[in-house]
Structure 1
Amino acid sequence: MANLYLNETLTETRPGELIELSGPEAKHVTTVSRAKVGDDLLVGNGRGLFVWGIIETIEAGRVGIRVSAVRNDEPVTPGLVLVQALAKGDRDELAIQAATELGVSRIIPWAASRSVSRWEGQKKEKGRARWETIVREASKQSIRSFVPPVEPIVSTAELATLAAESRVLLLEPTATDRLSDFAPVDGDKSSSDILLVVGPEGGISPAEIASLTAAGARAVRLGDTVLRTSTAGPAALAVLNLALGRW
């Protein structure tokens, strides 16, 4: 499988046309991958477009690729959305990296009451930018045609509003219902996104569970053990990928 390079400005193109990579992506082609004129290259725009081509020119900071094939992917439905609570260390970052590789459609940072890490003031945008970089690189590594957007951080009150509008699953080890019993394609909302809510190290507080379930969220458990915040979301995504027939 070829490496994937991203050019977010790339729009509809056809075989025979010449496209370009520039900046850090072009530098990676020449200095890390050590690609040469005549080598095959895969380029995407992160919004469903894949372009295969052959390197035709290599100049300072620019790589020209002659397009040989094009593919346009449609986003899958329902989308799987990870609502990841901020966590200390790099545990939340590990979660979003793995979730991206597993096909998550969107990522929403959550300022849970028990989150040790806090994004306040300028940290809100810096934290989101950091997550965007992680997600972008994970999308390239896993050869994804769509780069999942990282949305602005939400409070519990804002999350409750989402729960009233979407299908929301709270990953809670003490829940009676199992995630494997959830039927993701049943009912009137079968095409609406499924939001998976993962708490921080200390878990989702009783007050948050009460608030979110009152708004329509459903508490589910993965099994009889307690997973770390870095592994719960990816594990749940794997279960739903199987349930949806994507694996």
Structure 2
Amino acid sequence: MFHVRPLPAGEVVTLTGPEGRHAATVRRLRPGEPVDLTDGAGRALVCEVVAVRRDEIDCAVRRRVEVTSPGVRLVVAQALAKGDRGERAVEMLTEVGVDEIVPFAAARSVVRWDGERGARARQRWARTAEEAAKQSHRLHWPALGPLVGLPDLARRAATPGTVAVTLHEQAADPIVGLVRGRPDDGAVAEILLIVGPEGGLTDGEVQDLREAGAAVARLGPTVLRTSTAGVVAASIVLAELGRWDGPG
């Protein structure tokens, strides 16, 4: 799948620029092969390659597809993590279908996104999300929110229409069943999952989020890494929302 925004009109479109170069010289697509183009906002062109040049390809449009955005958005606030664990989390969260990923500077986050270093780290997260969206053939690509701290998350958790869940290994209640059977009456606009760093959230952070209205829930009997906890939680919630029943 290749990214084109906006999607062009017409029965034959030319894929140029970095995407065209990738299709022609890296993927080595040839006439007759299928290729999909998307704007990442729910629309796609199902095409067939009809001509290939050095850095571009011509695609005959066979079908236009549009998928509506989900009624309830799933947002994951992912704590900054050491090494490539943050990028691994972004990759998997994108693949399973999360609608927004929010970088979260928790109290115990060892990594800090300061200055130019932070800008580069954010670019890596954005690039990882884009590549994962293409690989997984997503039509709705996830948004990458701004870096937030605990006060920002607490305000979002307290927003009407938001159901916030803080993941914590010592919570009494499981996340399984937390959103199952919620009425689809428009009262809930988004579900916000909050994932702590390697050392976990502090007691103070958990308490502040609880006071803001966030539920505190555990995933299961084992303690997961920060790079996988959000993915498992998101998978459970997406299944319970019925989001895995159709295209995304």
TM-score by length of 1: 0.92
State the Cα distance separating 1:126 from its structure 2 match.
2.2
Counterpart among 173, 177, 180 of residue 176 in structure 2: 180
SS at structure 2 position matched to 1:153: coil
The letter for the 2-side match of 1:206 is D
State the Cα distance separating 1:189 from its structure 2 match.
6.1
State the Cα distance separating 1:240 from its structure 2 match.
1.0
Counterpart among 153, 178, 192 of residue 159 in structure 1: 153
Percent identity for Structure 1 against Structure 2: 38
State the Cα distance separating 1:32 from its structure 2 match.
2.3
Moved over 4 A (4+): 187-190
Contact 2:179 2:237 (C-alpha < 8 Å) held by counterparts = no
CA distance in structure 2 between the aligned counterparts of 1:129 and 1:9, rounded to whole angstroms: 22
Q: Superposition pairs for residues 22-33 of structure 1, below 5 Å?
A: 22-33=16-27
CA distance in structure 1 between the aligned counterparts of 2:201 and 2:186, rounded to whole angstroms: 25
TM-score by length of 2: 0.92
Structure 2 equivalent of residue 237 of structure 1: 234
The letter for the 2-side match of 1:133 is R
Contact 2:24 2:56 (C-alpha < 8 Å) held by counterparts = no
Contact 2:50 2:58 (C-alpha < 8 Å) held by counterparts = yes
Is 1:134–2:128 an aligned residue pair? yes
Contact 1:108 1:154 (C-alpha < 8 Å) held by counterparts = yes
CA distance in structure 2 between the aligned counterparts of 1:189 and 1:210, rounded to whole angstroms: 28
The letter for the 1-side match of 2:228 is T
Contact 1:124 1:153 (C-alpha < 8 Å) held by counterparts = no
The letter for the 2-side match of 1:18 is V
Structure 1 equivalent of residue 193 of structure 2: 196
Deviations 1:85-106 (A, max 9, x none): 0000111111111111100000
Contact 1:167 1:189 (C-alpha < 8 Å) held by counterparts = no
In the alignment, structure 2 segments of 5+ residues that lack a partner are none
The letter for the 2-side match of 1:218 is A
State the Cα distance separating 1:142 from its structure 2 match.
0.5
Structure 2 equivalent of residue 101 of structure 1: 95
State the Cα distance separating 1:181 from its structure 2 match.
2.9
